[in-house]
Structure 1
Amino acid sequence: MVRRGEIGLETDVLLAQKGDKEAFTRLIEECELTLYRVSKGILKDDADCADAIQETILKCYHSITQLKQPKYFKTWLTRILINECNDMLKKRKKLVLLESVDAFGSSEKNPEEFTELKEALLKLDDKHRIVLILFYYEEFSIKEMAQILKVREGTVKSRLNRARHRLLSIINLSKNERGVENE
């Protein structure tokens, strides 16, 4: 399945690899929401997210010529970002959980619509939350997620399955605590 703008993205990658700064800027602008969501899914603070994104962009700019297949630009960029975020966490020697639910967007019609889901996502551990973000919010395929996370496709599938079950359990538990009947 070809995503919207994938051909233009590949063209911009080829141009950026030849030194076209405007093409590189377009690539980063195309991926900025993904960069924010993924970094926010790992890091707590917006300033930390900004630092991780800035470092990712610099690393990408300096090594874009090493990307062999332009169609995997977004996957490659996301992998760089995840590595950068993990490096930041290791340097601080602490586990940082997602604090702001705004990273997942909201419904303008009914802002409360996704509150329960967002709160449940916050209760998941990092490895399960990140697969849900990559799959549902960023629409990466299982194969792309395996490349990004540097794990086997089977591992991605099992994490995704466990994450879905844990998310459902958290939501059901929350409903039970509030006295709401399960539907």
Structure 2
Amino acid sequence: MEKEFKAIYGQAMSIVTHKPSQYAKNITLRYPMKSTFKGNKIRICLDNFTGKEGVVFDSITIGRVISGRDLDPTSIVDITFNGSKGLHLDVGEQCYSDPLDFKVHEQETIAISFYLKEFTHLRCGVYTQGPLSTGYFGEGDFSHAGIMDHASSMKTPWVFFLSEVAVLTEPEYKVITCYGDSITSQDWP
């Protein structure tokens, strides 16, 4: 049987409450996640489904986590969309990345990082809870940096714009979808 892309992370986008503090400029968002299975390619989906303004992603990368928010700098590679390293998403739009040759090991933690240079309305996102759901944000462009400045970066329970991470893997690996209210937002094995 042929290999298939299977999600190691997926969320339906929600509307983040509108308030002035939800505009950000010159920040990197980094989202670590553990892969439950191995694969040799990866793709992601960025989503502005509930957005009221367009979003410009200046840089989108993936890397291997060595600890918390920090990555092995030699593992960081660009994720492209239609061959481009940046992406503009209009209101209500979503876009899958080009498949990227990136070997993922079972139970390995990887991280998706993206840099938002201009003022961006952080309206499209999901609030997550639990020990495996921590994201980070930092002032400046850390998309290609292994170490996020610990003095100016912080944890966030919000996952903005990232609605799926999928690995190209063997058919014997299975995915379970949990559908429901807040109880499904916990970390599941």
State the TM-score, normalizing by the size of structure 2. 0.27
Q: Which has the higher contact order (CA 8 A, sep 6+)?
A: 2
Answer with 1 or 2: which has the greater Rg: 1
Would you tell me which structure has more helix in proportion to its own residues?
A: 1
